[in-house]
Amino acid sequence: DRALVWFRRDLRADDHAALYAALRAARQVWCAFVFDDEILAPLPRADRRVEFIRDSLVDLDDQLHSLGLSHGVQPVRLIVRHGQARALLPQLAAQLGVQAVFASHDDEPASLARDNQVRGELAAQGVSLYTSKDHVVFERAEVMTATGTPYSVFTPYKNAWLKKLTPFFVKAWPVARHAGALAPWPAELGEPGVPELHDIGFERTDLHQMRLPSGSSGAHELLADFLARIDAYDRARDFPAVKGPSYLGPHLRFGTVSIRHLAREAWQRMQAGSRGAEVWLSELIWRDFYHQILHHHPRVDGHAFKPEYDRIKWAHGKEADALFEAWCEGRTGYPLVDAAMLQLSRTGYMHNRLRMVTASFLVKDLGLDWRRGEAWFARWLNDFDLAANNGGWQWAASTGCDAQPYFRIFNPVSQSEKFDPEGKFIKRYLPQLAALSAKAIHAPWQALPLELAAAEVTLGENYPLPVVSHDEAREATLARFAAARGGP
Ligand code: FAD
């Protein structure tokens, strides 16, 4: 009758499947989070995501405390540990004398391996590990083709997904109703409290200047702001200078908001006729889609979904490395690409349209292996998620399931003209181009020398010349893909 809930990428106390299951199953329930050194060790010491998690834990601790208070149990506090989850979790279970540990599914290959090990250790102590769906609306093999195989094309998947959706699947788990089973803080664990960043070896970042409020309270703030403009999402979402999307990515990543809640909000509005809500729901379905792809094809982590494209000979060597650096640092000479890459490193966010443009540019203009770009995004994105990032990269690289066909190659200049017509977004990150006209800003090397001089732009000095010619790169890319496909 004692249970422990192990929080991972589900940092909230409302509408929480595992917490609900534990509260129903046991009379005394503790809640814990482990800062896992296996995940933290490779990260830079200042990482916005670690700070986001830390701050979200403070919020979660408050929520649990209030839930306890409302049922006359106190003090209910979150147990936070730092070290190796594989070792600490079984230790904690033994210390608390629980019979069961509850957690949410995490289908990333490394997480599954960790969970299997923890499951084994717990079993040796006579403790069960129960895991359940929380992170997506439909997971694993819940949406399959009529012949029982996984979908690899989005549109039929989406249709099947929508067909399967009933209010049951987006209903909230009523945690608060059963919160009387939360157990007070066990004195033998010492003092409660969420550690400071420096206690776990990290430094503060500029997260607080990012307009990215953390925790469930932050998620609800962003959601309220977004729902007021969701009807315009379909029209606004493609323009990086416009406040079109929800900016909820990191909240979905760390589970500070329930996907069921978001899907419910979107679905209701869609049924009431909102085109914006319909398109947004479709984006949430892309998220489920890539999660089930990773579940059914874990090899996509590191390999092309379409195996023939593992034969592609990507550019390598010193010159390729220099091009990669120029891309990372926003020095390619293509203003939209450069502004986007600066947005990524300076804020941890990059607009979806720009993720497509910069990813395509890396692969099809620079001829570089998509995995290099994937890793760079993984390093910087606040909302980095293996399934979605890998899916997005393989889509742009044409190596993925239902990807952009290889011969469709974004032109970085026309993308810029179309989606940032006045160069408003570009100027935010490249102030040295601020005086260029809306016509010249997308391709400054084509501008009249007189205009460049008047705008005080000296190519090669205060802004780079293009590192590649798009037309030549296009030909090289077609040849590269043709060779891998076994002929022109
Ligand atoms: P909104 O437009 O408000 O969308 C709401 C939510 O839907 C997002 O937060 C996200 O959870 C989901 N979503 C939206 N579009 C997609 C999509 N195409 N695929 C999967 N889920 C989607 N998304 C990530 O969450 N993590 C990543 O690491 C990631 N890497 C990407 C890499 C590339 C190369 C590309 C092309 C896309 C990537 N995306 C990734 C998808 C998408 O760009 C982001 O989800 C979105 O820009 C996040 O901003 P938002 O929360 O304001 O999105």
Report how far ligand 1's centroid is from the alpha carbon of 13 (Å): 24
Confidence of residue 154 (pLDDT cuts 50, 70, 90): very high
What is the rounded average pLDDT of the residues 257-266? 98
Residue 107, sorted as left (phi over 0), alpha (psi -120 to 50) or beta, turns out to be: alpha
Return the pLDDT at 437. 98
Q: What is the reported pLDDT for 404?
A: 87
Query: 137-171 burial, b for 16+ CB within 10 Å, e for fewer?
Result: bbbeeebbeeeeebbbebeebbebbeeebeeebbe
User: In the chain, where does the domain assigned CATH 1.25.40.80 lie?
Assistant: 135-171+217-296
265 Cβ below 6 A of ligand 1: no
pLDDT band at 403 (very low <50, low <70, confident <90, very high): confident
Average pLDDT over residues 64-74: 97
Q: For residue 25, what pLDDT is reported?
A: 98
381 lines ligand 1 (CB under 6 A): yes
Q: Is the CB of 373 under 6 A from ligand 1?
A: no
pTM of the model as a whole? 0.98
Residues of the chain with CATH 1.10.579.10: 307-481
pLDDT the model gives residue 78:
98
Percent of the chain with pLDDT over 70: 100
Pocket test for ligand 1, best of 301, 352, 353, 377 (most atoms within 8 A of CB): 352
pLDDT at 487 over 70: no
Does the Cβ of 244 fall within 6 Å of ligand 1? no
Domain range 1-134, CATH class: alpha beta
Residue having the nearest C-alpha atom to atom 30 of ligand 1: 389
Q: Residue 488: what pLDDT?
A: 52
Q: Domain 307-481 falls in which CATH fold?
A: DNA Cyclobutane Dipyrimidine Photolyase, subunit A; domain 3 (1.10.579)
Query: Can you tell me which atom of ligand 1 is nearest the CA of 393?
Result: 34
List the beta bridge partners of residue 132.
104
142 CA → ligand 1 middle, Å: 22
For residue range 319-333, list pLDDT tens digits in order.
999 999 999 999 999
Burial class (CB in 10 A: 0-12, 13-18, 19+), 188: exposed
**279 contacts 233 by C-beta, under 8 angstroms:** yes
d(CA 124, ligand 1 centre) in Å: 40
For domain 135-171+217-296, which architecture applies? Answer: Alpha Horseshoe (1.25)
Domain with CATH 3.40.50.620 in the chain: 1-134
* Dist. CA 181–CA 233, nearest whole Å: 41
Average pLDDT over residues 134-145: 98
Residues taking part in catalysis = 283, 286, 314, 352, 370, 393
Say yes or no to pLDDT of 36 above 60: yes
Instruction: Output the 3-class SS for the chain.
Output: CEEEEEECCCCCCCCCHHHHHHHHHCCEEEEEEEEEHHHHCCCCCCCHHHHHHHHHHHHHHHHHHHHHHHCCCCCCCCEEEEECHHHHHHHHHHHHCCCEEEEECCCCHHHHHHHHHHHHHHHHCCCEEEEECCCCCCCCCCCECCCCCECCCHHHHHHHHHHHCCHHHHCCCCCHHHHHHECCCCHHHCCCCCCCHHHHCCCCCCHHHCCCCCHHHHHHHHHHHHHCCHHHHHHHCCCCCCCCCCCCHHHHHHCCCCHHHHHHHHHHHHHCCCHHHHHHHHHHHHHHHHHHHHHHCHHHCCCCCCHHHHHCCCCCCHHHHHHHHHHHCCCCCCHHHHHHHHHHHHHCCCCHHHHHHHHHHHHHHCCCCHHHHHHHHHHHCCCCCHHHHHHHHHHHCCCCCCCCCCCCCCCHHHHHHHHCCCCHHHHHHCHHHCCCCCCCCCCHHHCCHHHHHHCCCCECCCECCCCCCHHHHHHHHHHHHHHHCCCC
CB of 388 closer than 6 angstroms to any ligand 1 atom:
yes
Closest-CA residue, ligand 1 atom 9, reads 249
* pLDDT 10s digits, 422-481: 999 999 999 999 999 999 999 999 999 999 999 999 999 999 999 999 999 999 999 999
